[in-house]
Chain A
């Protein structure tokens, strides 16, 4: 028989009481595992999603905004620079070094027009190219086609279709100043949660006519089809051929979203760490109660030859056992919880992160051992002569 067998036999005798200590470690470990698993999956999902859409690059005019101040009073701001891209210059994008990675270059023109008594945002697009980019849009009706002389087709977002009672085949008139276009609704885009829910989408040429912006576009959406292609480098190449334009890669946008995810993750992790601290106190409290209950046994052990180091190591071993059991169960529960919660919270289905199991186990063992410090000090303070005399 060895020292650790003594501890294991003692634990098996006091299963119920030590169960509470294990439970507190389980809760802390489960919280940490659930947070790490969920947010790791969210991060991975975000990148996968960005890759799925071809690591897009958005090209638009670089606009400098200068605040206008009179004395100490702000009187507005002044935007400097060209707000549109010349449509005739778009082909220059194919001169970049990585032009073979350019799958789609879709121009867009944004503006505001009147629809009945309402002002709506209109987005002029190249229907074929836009369909390549937004293939997941669900359209009640059909996608707009190339413009025909006698009839202009538009698609409307769900936020506009509902209030205005528009559906496939509804005739509409869009106007801007003295200009107007008679069109027919080709389809209604089911809600995507994006900006398009509030747009009227029409062929580029029609939008240019209506907005009096012939030959101009607001931005280019570039889909780079590649695996691990140098999106940042491509952005720089595009800026090189379009002086005065800004090419922003989706990875930058993803990074911004990632910052939000990481901030949320940090908050959740902070809560988990607090849980871990509470768990440490609970384990310490349980073990201290255990030491108080075992004063006589510790006194006997000291009388029959246990050294201080052996008494302390037995308590540390007990703490480590509580930690490892709690950590193991907590990992399983945390993983199960994240597989249920993550699809609802961040729309991803995480896989078990076996690679963090050793780390979780290590943290939980450390928790148990740290929690053993105060009980160990208490055990060392026991006077065997006194406790054996008093029982």
Chain B
């Protein structure tokens, strides 16, 4: 196995991309992040020999077989692969929604797999944001309240962050609507606003366009692209065209990074 897994990872050149939402970030997710991808040099995330096993009845199934991966600050990385290749599992482990069976995940050189449950809660609150295929908004809450959820759980005051996040995704005028009153694309934009409202370092998007039509999907990808730089975006997708929007594509096959 290579010492530098990044060099072994297949990388696609970033295609010319029109940003339908915003040419430049309207607010900085993290002021320390370089705005220009060319300035990227620091590895924010290091995935080292990560394995994941699940128990299915009496059998044990290994989903990830020693994954190695490095992702730079502000980078937009797509993870592709066939169903069952371990894409979502890897993403959940990077976001510490799930713990690896072996190996380590370093964020800014700190091994988060060694963190306590309490520290992981804080990690999920302030360092990562999640976007899911099915949006996963709370139906009883308005768009504004859904975006405010991370602030509520973190005990932070809303000093305009919620409105700013909704404005960033172009939904300031729909903030008092409940999910059922929003289109699929609008719901996903609310979910993205919720994911970035705490100004995390990492945005994890699992098939964010999977439940949307092609045009709406492109808008969502453009939105994620506009956020990259301010925040490191890791997107799981099946769609090569959408993956082409990212800075780099990592292929997973049978629980390994495909070479």
Chain B associates with chain A: yes
What distance in Å separates the Cβ of B68 from its nearest Cβ neighbour in chain A? 21
Q: Would you list 24 pairs from A and B whose C-beta atoms are within 8 A, ordered by A residue?
A: A1-B148, A2-B152, A6-B152, A296-B136, A301-B138, A301-B153, A302-B97, A303-B130, A303-B136, A304-B125, A304-B130, A304-B153, A304-B194, A305-B125, A305-B150, A305-B198, A306-B153, A307-B118, A307-B121, A383-B98, A385-B89, A385-B97, A388-B97, A388-B136
**CB distance B92 to A304 under 8 Å?**
no
What distance in Å separates the Cβ of B66 from its nearest Cβ neighbour in chain A? 20
A300: which B residues are within 8 A, CB to CB? Answer: 136-138
Shortest 10 CB-CB distances between A and B: which pairs? A305-B125, A305-B153, A385-B98, A13-B140, A385-B97, A385-B92, A307-B121, A9-B140, A300-B136, A306-B153
Contact string against A for B residues 74-106, beta-carbon threshold 8 Å, 1 for contact and 0 otherwise: 000000000000001100100101100000000
**CB distance A304 to B134 under 8 Å?**
no
**CB distance B124 to A391 under 8 Å?**
no
* Nearest residue, chain A, Cβ from B154: A305
Please tell me if B141 contacts chain A, counting CB pairs below 8 Å: yes
Known contacts A300-B136, A389-B88; A9 and B141 CB within 8 A of each other: yes
B97: which A residues are within 8 A, CB to CB? Answer: 302-303, 384-385, 388
Known contacts A305-B124, A391-B134; A3 and B152 CB within 8 A of each other: yes
Known contacts A301-B149, A307-B118, A391-B134; A12 and B140 CB within 8 A of each other: yes
Residues of A within 8 Å of B, CB-based: how many?
27
B98: which A residues are within 8 A, CB to CB? Answer: 383, 385
Would you call the interface of chain B mostly helix, strand, loop, or mixed?
helix
* Nearest residue, chain A, Cβ from B117: A308
B251: which A residues are within 8 A, CB to CB? Answer: none
Please tell me if A351 contacts chain B, counting CB pairs below 8 Å: no
What distance in Å separates the Cβ of A384 from its nearest Cβ neighbour in chain B? 5
Please tell me if B145 contacts chain A, counting CB pairs below 8 Å: yes
* Nearest residue, chain A, Cβ from B126: A305
Complex CA–CA separation, A198 to B98 (angstroms): 86
Please tell me if B245 contacts chain A, counting CB pairs below 8 Å: no
A305: which B residues are within 8 A, CB to CB? Answer: 121, 124-126, 149-150, 153-154, 198
In the complex, chain A residues 1-59 whose Cβ is within 8 Å of any chain B Cβ? 1-3, 6, 9-10, 12-13
**CB distance A310 to B153 under 8 Å?**
yes
Please tell me if B20 contacts chain A, counting CB pairs below 8 Å: no
Complex CA–CA separation, A303 to B194 (angstroms): 11
Please tell me if B139 contacts chain A, counting CB pairs below 8 Å: yes
**CB distance B134 to A303 under 8 Å?**
no
B138: which A residues are within 8 A, CB to CB? Answer: 6, 297, 300-301
A306: which B residues are within 8 A, CB to CB? Answer: 121, 153
Complex CA–CA separation, A285 to B118 (angstroms): 29
Question: Taking each of B89, B148, B150, B153, which has the highest tally of chain A beta carbons within 10 Å of its own beta carbon?
Answer: B153
What distance in Å separates the Cβ of A240 from its nearest Cβ neighbour in chain B? 76
In the complex, chain A residues 374-389 whose Cβ is within 8 Å of any chain B Cβ? 383-385, 388-389
A310: which B residues are within 8 A, CB to CB? Answer: 153
Pick the contact of A303 from B88, B124, B198 — CB < 8 Å?
Answer: B124
Pick the contact of B124 from A13, A296, A304, A308 — CB < 8 Å?
Answer: A304
